[in-house]
Homo-oligomer: A and B are copies of this chain.
Amino acid sequence: MNGDWTSLGPGAEFDLIRRMTRRWGALARGVGDDAAVLDVPGGARLVASTDMSVEGVHFRQDWLSLEDIGYRSATAALSDLAAMAADPMGLLVAVSIPRALAAMVEALADGIGAAARMAECPIVGGDLARGDRIALTITVLGSVRKPMFRRGALPGDALFITGRLGGPGAALKGLIAGDPAPAHLDRFRRPVARLAEARWLAASGATAMMDISDGLSSDARHLAAASDVSLRIDLGALPVVTGVQPREAAVSGEEYELLLTAPDELDCEAFRQRFALPLTCIGRVGTAGEPRVTFHQGEERVDPEEGYDHFSG
């Protein structure tokens, strides 16, 4: 569906595509046709990531509106650009939906558009297919001069996290229990990709970074593995939302906050003033060559459960 949207030929599929792009207005930049054409700023590197969300696996229509579903899928992908400290350049949308419900397509488009607009990311292409269930694949492209990787954490670095954890996990628990409007629902429905925050952190000395979409406990292991270091996390230091225990917050998925390592000098107060968001030291990088994560509560070592794994459930 790339291209000069209005000049597509006739057909039911193209009518639906036109409906989506009309919702996006100037956000949809019809630059290519079979494919989008984008300019990568001189001296920058291209960053690309793809993210699939499937109904019944990643979301349920009784918990989330179609607009929320579109918004969350796009934000999940944009959060991968944040994790690399990249600037969004373009977003591609592949949607499968049950047979031709125009209102459904428009609601998804509105949610995707809201997330893209918030990230100042044009929508540059996509594809539309029929399918029994809604599935969305969002691919994001960004540019960066100095990408942040999961590798790069150095023994002695401090470990930091943005925001407050536990909101999406608590909301999800409430929804599963049948509460249609649990506390922190908005953090589950409308997460925010920490794009500007990530660029600030990269410019301020971060040595390794990632987003914690699978939850802190699960994702910290990836950072430890990639950097080949041990990580010691102090549960008591975790910044949590009201009513959530640190132990629960450590396994709360869908957070889209940033986990990073940096020298102790990282200025958490300057970050907080700039972004009205906490930046908290939650632990430390230990030994090189021992890729593992341990959680501690005071002197005691504790073991929060695993993060949610779509394939082991």
Contact = CB atoms under 8 A, between A and B. Distances in A.
Interface string A173-185: 0000000000000
Contact of A99 (B16, B84, B311): B311
A117 interface: no
A141 B228 CA distance: 31
Contact of A57 (B32, B37, B126, B129): B129
B34 A80 contact: yes
Contacts of A150: 3-4, 7, 33-34
Nearest to A222: B9
A36 interface: yes
Interface string A268-291: 000000000000000000000001
Contacts of A100: 311
A311 B50 contact: no
Interface string A7-48: 111111100100000000000000011111111101001111
A149 interface: yes
11 contacts: A4-B151, A4-B226, A9-B221, A9-B224, A13-B310, A13-B312, A33-B150, A34-B83, A46-B46, A49-B92, A130-B310
Q: Which 5 A-B pairs have the closest CB atoms?
A: A34-B83, A9-B221, A35-B49, A137-B137, A12-B311
